Amino acid sequence: MEIQIRVYYEDTDCGGVVYYANYLRWLERGRTEFLRERGIELVSLMRRDIWFSVSECNLKYKKSAKYDDLLRVVTELEEVGGAAFWLKNYIWRKNELLVEARVRIACMSGETGKVKRIPAEVVEAIMAGKVPTSK
């Protein structure tokens, strides 16, 4: 799954280089669209007390994005477990890899804050779009 992001002035520091935390915002957008593409509506899940929360995130910054760059945020499913799933994310500027990330998303109760199993129908929807990636 892929979305495009334009780097705006507000995303950068005084030198026109993207502030490091903004990459996390863009990964969140990619993740939300990844789920939406599979028919997973987060608002309807929250009404059922099914919440997704980032429980682990590992980013490798390779190159900096700059003001006015057009970026591609790629989100791929890596693995699904009982109460969590892992995504691989890549942020590209044309053919240059800028950021590589691995993110663990835990399923939890918004009411209690405790981890819970991902419902079977949600696992099925997440897996429906899985495409093997080349390493």
Q: In this predicted structure, what is the pLDDT of residue 135?
A: 38
Residues catalogued as catalytic: 13
Per-residue pLDDT, 130 = 56
Alpha-carbon torsion 44, 80, 4, 17, what sign?
A: positive
| pLDDT tens per residue, range 25-64 | 999 999 999 999 999 999 999 999 999 999 999 999 999 9
Taken in order of first residue, the domains within the chain and their CATH numbers are 2-128 (3.10.129.10)
> What integer pLDDT is reported at residue 132 of this predicted model?
44
Asked whether 81 and 15 are in contact (CB, 8 A), the reply is no
